[in-house]
Amino acid sequence: MKAKKSVRDRLRLDAIRRRATPIENHIIDEYAAGKITRRDFIRRGTIIGMSVSVLGFVATACATDEGATTTLAGGPTTTGGSGTTGGPTTTGATGTSGSTGAGAIRAAMITPAGAIDPVLTNDEGRLAILGQTGQYLAFSDAELNLIPVLAESWEPNDTLDVWTFNLRQGVTYHDGSPMVADDVVAVFTNIASGNAASAYETFGVTPENIVAIDEATVEFTLAQPNGSFPFFVSSDNYNGIIVPASFWDSYAEGSYETEFPGTGIWQIENHEPGVSASFVKNQNYWGDNAAQPEQLEVIFFADEAVAVTAFQEGRVDVIPHISSSGGQALLESPDATVASIPTAQHRQVYFDTSAPPFNDKRVRQAVALTLNRQVLIDGLLAGFGTVGNDHPIWEFFPMFSQDTPAQRAEDLAAAQGLLDAAGLGAFEAPLHTLVFAEVEDLAQLIAASAAQVGITLNLGVFDSGTYYNDYWLAAAGSMGIVNYGHRGVPNVYLAAPLLSDGTWNASHWVNETYDDLYNQFASAPDLDIQRQLSGELQTLLNDEVPFIVPYFVDHISITQPNFSGLVVTGMGHVDLVNASVS
């Protein structure tokens, strides 16, 4: 019986491999050879557009001992039919709902920073609301899988510079009109090609040409090959909400708010800017939303204390995202279910490498050696974070290289030795930062740590407008701290702040070896090669320390004990399709 099954499996595997593209076959080879884990195989496969059923079959058929181990709950939890159900890896928040979908749920969410508008959105408050009424071609879930949503599948050409997306059929907007390829072309032409004043992050992968091949097929031609391109048109780039092409005819800042057009599971009922929003279930949703509650009531909070009291009073069922400091009162409470997921969000403590004293890498290494990272995580994040090693390649990225370099730990003697070798006695330098989450306190603790080896860091704390305008890129012999939000792939972290001509290179760090390595990394289709290059990048960055990455920050959600079915991502997307209150 077993032998028969394995023969059938082999035949099916052969058939799959015959139909597969060279890039797909390459990934299957890597997995079969045990070079990548099952988890990485599935993640990588979803990016280049392999279907979930094929991935699942190949993962089982080619399983190796090593390949079968997963540390996170592996693989997408969707069957491809319903778009946004990749679950977080937490306990307490993931429960599957068997409810009939009656009733209403009440959520406290971060106040949107401005008009709800896909073009202008650059903050978590807005992207979380946009994701209720709107959808993306693909959804980047908490485990870095790319789940097909409005695109059913996609595939690159052999050189990875032309990507074809096959759109899901039978999808309609809230007003009943069908979603077609022209809509997708219009969205990306407007936000990514400079037609609209957009907050869209192009990351240097701006499509050169976007065309509708037919009603259900869209083709993106890129200036440079990019193996991770689908992430740039997924929920990772939250400006890419798919709206009808007609939306652009009369587009003005904020015009999205008149109807909240989209294909999402909720339709807008009422929106009072800065106060509240209410939604009703989309009865004509293309996917399975049988379990979805009838109504969603959102209250916005500008101050986390407001969300905490609303929760304590029982006025809300769920706070999809709260900081460890703001939510402190609830973290230990028996009346609250706390769930967290690791994310790639991190703070970069950068040095101006173009001027003394930080133009000497020994000085930068010395500052990095004064930090006790676990103490920072425990003190500033109540333990909700993972230690960073002075490069932005998060340990859960598939291309993260486990081997190199060793984790940097507090070592004051070594730090003093490096300063002595650099010929520096006690010195002073400015440390600028912005008011954001725990960053101000982080600055204080860095200053206190550096003081142990005779470095006096003079703090300057500014509001974000002042900081980004006057201090961020103007760093002169100073240090600074910036925040980088979660992304499904590290390209944005590795390009803009680190390339010699990077647009956000606050360190003013110029390193040709790095530029060359990064360019190879960005166009490498092969995870094995990417991982090898990643190892080199990690080592180089850890040694050069253009910036310190002290830690990565977890995403914390809080729910009432009778609430289940919350799905969140590291970026702040909130999916409540299976939410219920028992």
Task: Please choose, out of 159-167, 192-200, 423-431, 521-529, the segment that lies near other proteins by the rule CB under 8 A.
Answer: 192-200
Interacting residue with other proteins among 246, 466, 511, 520 (CB under 8 A)? 466
User: Residues 142, 341: contact at Cβ < 8 Å?
Assistant: yes
> Chain centroid to CA 287: how far?
24
In the complex, minimum distance from the CB of residue 149 to other proteins, in angstroms, rounded to a whole number: 23
For residue 207, whether the previous peptide bond is cis, meaning omega lies within 30 degrees of 0, is no
CA 571 – CA 396 distance, rounded (Å): 15
Residue closer to other proteins by CB (options 172, 483) is 483
In the complex, minimum distance from the CB of residue 322 to other proteins, in angstroms, rounded to a whole number: 15
Residue 101 makes contact with other proteins by CB under 8 A: no
Residue 66 corresponds to which amino acid? Answer: E
Q: What is the DSSP letter of 366?
A: H
Interacting residue with other proteins among 215, 253, 378, 420 (CB under 8 A)? 253
**β-bridge partners, 278:** 270, 297
Residue closer to other proteins by CB (options 254, 379) is 254
Residue 114 makes contact with other proteins by CB under 8 A: yes
CA 153 – CA 257 distance, rounded (Å): 30
Interacting residue with other proteins among 98, 103, 194, 561 (CB under 8 A)? 194
CA 569 – CA 488 distance, rounded (Å): 10
The angle, 0 to 180 degrees and rounded to 10, between the axes of the packed helices 439-451 and 373-381 is: 150
Two tokens, residue 476: 């002169």
In the complex, minimum distance from the CB of residue 546 to other proteins, in angstroms, rounded to a whole number: 18
User: Residues 244, 264: contact at Cβ < 8 Å?
Assistant: no
Count of CB atoms within 10 A of residue 397's CB? Answer: 21
Q: Show contacts with other proteins in window 496-535 (CB under 8 A).
A: 504
Task: Please choose, out of 144-152, 272-280, 422-430, 438-446, the segment that lies near other proteins by the rule CB under 8 A.
Answer: 272-280
In the complex, minimum distance from the CB of residue 471 to other proteins, in angstroms, rounded to a whole number: 10
In the complex, minimum distance from the CB of residue 310 to other proteins, in angstroms, rounded to a whole number: 6
Residue closer to other proteins by CB (options 278, 404) is 278
In the complex, minimum distance from the CB of residue 253 to other proteins, in angstroms, rounded to a whole number: 4
Interacting residue with other proteins among 14, 175, 215, 303 (CB under 8 A)? 303
Residue 524, SS3 per DSSP: coil
Interacting residue with other proteins among 468, 477, 520, 528 (CB under 8 A)? 468
Place of tokens 């370099």: 405
What is the SS3 string spanning 314-358? CCCCEEEEECCCCCHHHHCCCCCEEEEECCCCEEEEEECCCCCCC
Residue 549 makes contact with other proteins by CB under 8 A: no
What stretches of 90-191 adopt beta strand conformation (E)?
104-110, 138-140, 146-148, 151-156, 162-167
Q: What is the size of the binding site for other proteins (CB under 8 A)?
A: 46
Residue closer to other proteins by CB (options 79, 469) is 469
Residue 487, SS3 per DSSP: coil
Residue closer to other proteins by CB (options 275, 409) is 275
Residue 310 makes contact with other proteins by CB under 8 A: yes
Residue 313 makes contact with other proteins by CB under 8 A: yes
Q: Show contacts with other proteins in window 273-292 (CB under 8 A).
A: 273-276, 278
Q: Show contacts with other proteins in window 323-342 (CB under 8 A).
A: none
Instruction: Convert residues 199-228 into a mask of x (bound to other proteins by CB under 8 A) and - (unbound).
Output: xxxx--------------------------
Residue 255 makes contact with other proteins by CB under 8 A: yes
Two tokens, residue 329: 């009162």
- The secondary structure of 193-237 as a DSSP string is SSSS------TT--EEEEEEEETTEEEEEESS--TTHHHHTSTTS
Residue 196 makes contact with other proteins by CB under 8 A: yes
Residue closer to other proteins by CB (options 168, 508) is 508
Residue 498, SS3 per DSSP: coil
Interacting residue ranges for other proteins, rule: CB under 8 A: 113-115, 117, 120, 122-123, 194, 196-202, 252-255, 257, 270, 272-276, 278, 299, 301-303, 305-306, 309-310, 312-313, 315, 463, 465-466, 468-470, 472, 504
